[in-house]
Each structure stands twice: as C-alpha cells, then as structure tokens.
Structure 1
Amino acid sequence: MRRLLLTLPLLCMPLIAAGQTVSADQSTNPWIQQQTTLKTGQPAPGSLLIQSQNSTTAGAQNDSSLSLNPLGGGTVNSSTLQYGVTPNVTTQATINQKSWATQPRIVGTEVGATYNTGRYSLGLSVAQDQVTNPTPLPRVLPGAVTGVNGLTDFDNSTQLNAKGRLALSGNSGVVLGASMGRIHLLPGNLLGLSTLDQKALSFGIDHGPVSGSIIGRSMQPEVNNPGMPNPGLYPDRRWNSIDLGVTWRLPWQGSLSFGAQNVWSSGNATNTPAGPPQPDQSRTPYVQYHQDL
C-alpha cells in the first residue's frame, strides 16, 4: 500500500497540469460547467472534475494527522481528481506539495470516496505524506519549527481519515472528523524513536464564509518489546495537544485565518541527562491572510 501511494504522484502529474489549466478556464469551458450542476456540488455520474488550489500552511490546518506549524511559512499546492460514481457517491484522488523557499519538502497523496446526500455527507480516505529529502525540515523563523506535529525529524506518515458533515441550514453545518495512523521519524532523531502512533479528532462549525474548528491530537511511541505490559506502546510516553482555528473567506477570493496551535498540551517522557525529550508543544498563535490570484 505504501509503495502504491508513493507512485500516485508520478501517475497524477499530467492531472496536476490539467487541473491548473482547468482552474484558469472554468468560466469559458462548458464541459466543466456541466459537471457541477448537481445540487451536492459533486461531478455528474460517469464524469470527471479536476480542481487545483494553493494556500499557506495556516490555511492547511485540517483534521488529518498531518499538522504544520502555521508560522513556519511556506505554501501548499494541491490538485484533486473527482469521479462521479452515482448521484450520491464520488471517488477522489489528491496530490499535494508543501514547499518552503520554493523547494518541495513534503509530498502527499490521498485516495478515498464520499457519500453525499446534500443534507449530510460522509467521506473515508487513506493518505500518506513523505519528505522528499531525508533531512530535518528547515527552521524558517526563530522559535517557529516547520516540523509536522512539532517533529522536525518527520520522515513519512500513513493514516486513515474519516470526515462527516451535517447541514443545519442552507449555509451552515457541523463537521466531525477522525484520523488514526503512524508517523515514522528519521534515524538518529533526538527523541530516540522510530515510530509514533497518532490519533486525531476534530469538531467544526461553518456558517456562510466563516468556519471554525477545534482539533485534538494524541501521539504515543510504538515499541517491540514482548516483556512490556503493552508490547505495542510505551506506557510512560505520550503527548496530547489541542488546536483552534477560524477562517473567514472574503468576497474577493481572499481568506483570513487566525487561531493557535497547542492551546492546551500535555506530555510525559522518560528523563534523559539532557531532560525529557518531547515534540515541540509550545503555544503558537497566528493570524494570516491569503489571496488567490
């Protein structure tokens, strides 16, 4: 499965280029306009819809296990291919690239399906993210680590995501999400670990152009020691955190995002001569503006 997901970027490169072209020509392309006639906003059965977008790392906050520091700078570019199976079922494949200083650092792929009735929707997907070079992620600003979930030695991750939305009215709804998976770290990292088990839960509300969410995450190292009470996890090492974020989509294709990472955090670790090693859990407030051109 891991090799299959890693080959998706190569297979989807033509789609990325096509998606960028489609994004610029949607107003004049009747084929694209025909695909969005369903009330749920999904492509019609048997048809394809390709979309592309870009955002800052602050705008990339979501309920999946991959979480970037919003003050770490950088951009996120993604392209999504959707295929309408039935009027209510859509399959999709996404490839995204997270870059700093014009250099791609993390490439992600995601495949899944969504069931949407208009009143409510439920989606399931499998995703993987991997650094393109086996080096720690860069430190862009003093005190702002670019790492994933406070882990600068991030290597790759694989996770299963679920997301559902219940519409309360024509322009508002409640969103619930969950994710579980594994994070692999680069060899020789300061934590002295190779694999972390991670779970995430999210709750969000959207009303018109305004949306907000609260996301809780938990990480615990995995070990392979049959002599321990629970051979799968370290019983004395665990890190938890809660993030808050609000986004306001502006009428001129801009967005304003503000919130904080690690509003609340806790953790424990086995002490070492240098202290208890743990991921960066410092509280990080942010305010960012993004403009689509």
Structure 2
Amino acid sequence: MRRLLLTLPLLCMPLIAAGQAVDGNLGGVAWLQQQTLKSAQQPMQGSLLVQSQNTTTANAQNDTSLSLNPLAGGTVSSSTVQYGLAPNVTAQAGVTQRSWATQPRLIGSEVGATYNAGRYSLGVSVAQDQVPNTTPLPRVLPGAVTGVNGLPDFDSSTQVNARGRFALNGSSGVLLGASVGRIHLLPGNLMGLSTLDQKALSFGVDHGPISGNIIGRTMQPEPGMPNSFTADRRWNSIDLGVTWRLPWQGSLSFGAQNIWSSGNATNVPAGPPEPDQSRTPYVQYHQDL
C-alpha cells in the first residue's frame, strides 16, 4: 500500500541560496489551500478542471499534516484534477513531486472531495507522501536539513486531512484544518524507531489579499514500540505564517517554523537524536510569470 501511491530577487540571502517560493504545501493539492475553498474555484456539475503548476520549491506552512524546513530548496511540480459531481460537491485527485538537484526525492498523492455551500465549505482527503529512494533526504544548506517534520530519515506517510472555511463576508473568512496519520522512517535510523503517529490542527483567517494561519503538530512513537529512550516521548511544535498576495501576481510571506516546540532542539549524549525542532524565521517572495 505504501508504494502504490506514488523572477525577481528574493528578500534575503539564505532564501536566494535555497530558491524558496511560497503558496505550496507538501501535499500540493489545490483544494486544501485557502484560496481554493472559495466557490469561484469549484468546477460546474459534470465538468472537469485540470490544473498544473511548476515552481521553485514551495513551503509547507499552509499544510496541516507535514512540514518541510523553509530553507530546504529544490523544485516542485504538481497536477490536480477536479470533477463536479453535484452542484455543491467536487471530487479531486492530485500528484506532487518535490525534487532536489534534478532527482525526485519526495512524491505525494491525494484523493478527496469538497462540499461547498457558498458561505461555508468542507474538504476531506486521504494522502500519501514517500521518498522513492531509500536514502536520507539531502542537506542543501548548513543547518537546513531537508527533512519532513524535522526527520531526515523520513520514508513515507499516510494521513487523513480535513479542511473547512466559513465566510464572514465577501472578502473575509475563517479556516480550520485537521490531520491524523502515521509516519514511517527508513530502516536503521538513529532514533531507533520505525513508525511515528502524527496529528495536526490549524486555524487561519483571510481578509482580501492577506491571510494568516497557525499550525500545531504533535508526533509520538506508535504505541507498543520497543525503545526505552523514546517510547514515552512526544514532540510538539507550532508554526505561524502570514501571506500577502500582491496586485502584480506576486506574494510575500513571512513567519516562523517551530515558533514554539517541546523536546530537545539539539541531540544529547544520553540518548538517540531528537527530531529537529529548531526555530526558523523566514521571509519569502514568489512571483508568477
């Protein structure tokens, strides 16, 4: 089951090296992003809408399930298909590929449906992300490991996502999201674990071209895993981000990953390494051409 689913100057020097852009997520599927929960983005009943996007790397700040370091770098390609099942119901499927140094290193797929009643909408989906090669994800910059949820030995994950939007008026809305799933690590990883359970909650608001969200995540070993160092551990983190969509088809995003976290940010000699939970502020600019 795990293997079936398969330009303007940037605003700061680390992001120039990383080639970072905004308005993407690890799943990369458009119907779970804030702007596409609005009724104008839904296909009519019986019609098909196909969308593709190729950009420099996308961050994970708008995603409620998995997270990448904002300085990770790389490129991302995504394709989605939406079909109008009924006046208010749309089915979707999408695939996203994230690559570093021209090699595909992370592939995500997602299927789901959205109910849109005008003032409020709700989308649910099942997603999987995996690395096609059984090697740790590459280190792109010093101190910026290309891991998932702070885990450089990420192998694959499966999760169920839900996201909803309630419109306060014609230009403002409130967004809620949730995700539950399971992360698999590569064999022989230094944590000595094979599986982690993960949960995430998100809360966001949008007003015209400005949107912001806060995401809380928690990970812990699967119950019953035999490891005396980490069996009772739990790692929590909170991300905060704000995006301003500019009139000339650009967007400016700023915030911090792991603005708060529990657990050790650095490894200690007394036990195996912890997931990387270093606080990472970022400022990012993206221009659609």
Pairwise TM-score range, normalised by the shorter structure? 0.7 to 0.9
Partner deviation per Cα, 1:185-244 (whole Å, 9 max, x = no partner): 001111111000000000001111111110000000114369x9xxxxx65211000001
Q: How does 1:1-293 map to 2 (within 5 A)?
A: 1-6=1-6, 40-224=40-224, 236-267=232-263, 273-293=269-289
For residues 146 and 39 of structure 1, what CA distance do their matches in structure 2 show?
35
Render the CA deviation track for 1:141-186: whole Å, top value 9, x for unaligned. 1111110011000000000000000001111100000000000000
Identify the residue that residue 24 of structure 2 maps to in structure 1: none
Q: Cα–Cα, structure 1 residues 115 and 155, in superposed 2: closer, same or farther, change >3 Å?
A: same
Q: Which runs of 5+ in 1 are unaligned?
A: 7-37, 229-233
Q: Aligned equivalents of 1:52 and 1:170: distance in 2?
A: 27
Separation of aligned partners in 2, 1:272 and 1:210: 41
The worse-fitting range, judged by mean Cα deviation, of 100-109 and 217-226 is: 217-226
CA distance in 2, matches of 1:278, 1:118: 44
2:225 and 2:256 map into 1 onto residues whose CA distance is 37
For residues 57 and 65 of structure 1, the distance between their equivalents in structure 2, rounded to whole angstroms, comes to: 18
> Residue 127 of structure 2 aligns to which amino acid in structure 1?
A
Structure 1 pair 76/187, CA: closer, same or farther in 2 (3 Å)? same
Residues 58 and 76 in structure 2, CA contact (< 8 A), matched pair in contact too: no
CA RMSD of aligned residues (A): 2.2
Whole-Å separation in 1 of the counterparts to 2:178 and 2:126: 12
Contact persistence 2:190–2:272 (CA under 8 A) = no
**Offset at 1:53?**
2.1
Distance 1:68 1:217, change over 3 A: same
SS in 1 for 2:41: coil
Q: Distance in 1 between matches of 2:60 and 2:269?
A: 37
Distance apart, 1:57 and its partner CA: 4.2
Pair 1:144–1:3, CA change in 2 (3 A): closer
Q: What's the CA shift for 1:272?
A: 7.6
1:22 corresponds to:
none
Q: Secondary structure at the match of 1:69?
A: coil
Displacement of 1:62 in angstroms is 2.4
Q: Which amino acid aligns with 2:193?
A: L
| Contact kept in structure 2, 1:59 and 1:257, CA below 8 Å | no
Paired residues of 1:199 and 1:218 also in contact (CA < 8 A): yes
Q: Spell out, residue by residue over 1:251-281, the C-alpha distance to the aligned partner (whole angstroms, 9 max, x if none).
A: 2221111111000000279x98454521000
- Residue identity over aligned pairs, in percent, reads 80
**Distance of 1:268 and 1:246 partners within structure 2:** 27
Query: How many angstroms apart in 1 are the aligned matches of 2:107 and 2:3?
Result: 14
Q: Distance in 1 between matches of 2:181 and 2:39?
A: 34
Task: Tell me the amino acid that sits aligned with residue 203 of structure 1.
Answer: F
In 2: Cα distance, 1:273 partner to 1:70 partner: 28
Number of corresponding residues: 255
Could you tell me the TM-score, scaled by structure 1's length? 0.81
Query: Are 1:113 and 1:124, in contact at CA under 8 Å, matched by a contact in 2?
Result: yes
Q: In 2, are the aligned partners of 1:126 and 1:159 still within 8 Å (CA)?
A: yes
Q: TM-score, normalised by structure 2?
A: 0.82
C-alpha distance in 1 between matches for 2:120 and 2:39: 13
Higher relative contact order (CA 8 A, sep 6+): 2
